[in-house]
Structure 1
């Protein structure tokens, strides 16, 4: 891996993994959807040249409580463009600002965002007494942007394609 690849988060499949077709990869990525995951992968028609988009489900009522309880101030979206000629998926990560409005509060995603290849982790702990009488911290909530990025990236790599992070420019 070169220096620029390290900066952009680019990863290559293991040696000997034959790349599948773009349609097989698209189906595999869409197959990551499910009722138990806090993100959705969808077709990206009209979304800046992306073929697929994966993002947190901040607007869905079932998941709003999770995002409100976490006190997160940002949301995350991955825009993916499949390039069959080179068997690579060009990926842009976008972070949007989230604000809480109304009573009861609801999440609203602002129009401002940044792009990059960073990672955000949010954790909440409760302090209490342990079985031995000493203090004990119990993790009550964990939210990590890798929970969205890793399944996407692992699916791309298992399909024999390159995961190419794009920090600047277009897809």
Structure 2
């Protein structure tokens, strides 16, 4: 892997691994889903991508956590599997989030980005606890790396290359 690959976020296939068929890789990417993860990988049927990985910001079990963190941007990663090249092309979408009475409202009108980006939102909240002690009541960190890294590892471990795409078609 060269300097340009490193700078772009590309990840080479794991050495010595025979590339899997696309259907096996597709299933493995969907298998990353679990209720305890703050993101989900889902199939995309509009033709813009094969799969989309995104934060569970509108999931009732998670939006309170995202809202408490005052998250202002969320990322989606569009994935296209290219069986001929044995690569997964990825493109990031960054959306602005507005919170109305604790409920998220995704908005493309204020800000929207498509390409490759690293974004990190972090913070902590301090208040009196149930034991009436002042201290940290929550801490969060949402990073696009936390969203992409598990997916990149799955792709690499299946003998495929992860290739970020900033412009053009996936």
The unaligned stretches of length 5 or more in structure 1 are 129-135
Alignment of 1:8-157 (within 5 A): 8-48=8-48, 50-101=49-100, 104-111=101-108, 112-125=111-124, 140-157=139-156
Task: Say if 1:137 and 1:40 are closer, same or farther in 2 by CA, change over 3 A.
Answer: closer
Contact 1:123 1:139 in 2 (8 A): no
- SS across alignment from 2:147: helix
Contact 1:96 1:114 in 2 (8 A): yes
1:127 Cα offset (Å): 7.2
Task: Say if 1:57 and 1:138 are closer, same or farther in 2 by CA, change over 3 A.
Answer: closer
| Equivalent-residue separation in structure 2 for 1:15 and 1:90 (angstroms) | 19
Matched, 1:5 2:5: yes
1:3 Cα offset (Å): 4.3
Contact 2:9 2:163 in 1 (8 A): yes
The unaligned stretches of length 5 or more in structure 2 are 128-134
- Give the superposed CA RMSD: 2.1
1:117 Cα offset (Å): 2.4
Which shows bigger deviation, 5-14 or 17-26? 5-14
Structure 1: 4+ residue segments shifted above 4 A: 136-139
Which shows bigger deviation, 58-67 or 136-145? 136-145
Contact 1:70 1:143 in 2 (8 A): no
Task: Say if 1:169 and 1:4 are closer, same or farther in 2 by CA, change over 3 A.
Answer: farther
* TM-score, with length taken from structure 2: 0.86
Instruction: Name the count of aligned residue pairs.
Output: 161
| Equivalent-residue separation in structure 1 for 2:142 and 2:159 (angstroms) | 29
Task: Say if 1:61 and 1:126 are closer, same or farther in 2 by CA, change over 3 A.
Answer: closer
| Equivalent-residue separation in structure 1 for 2:69 and 2:117 (angstroms) | 19
* TM-score, with length taken from structure 1: 0.85
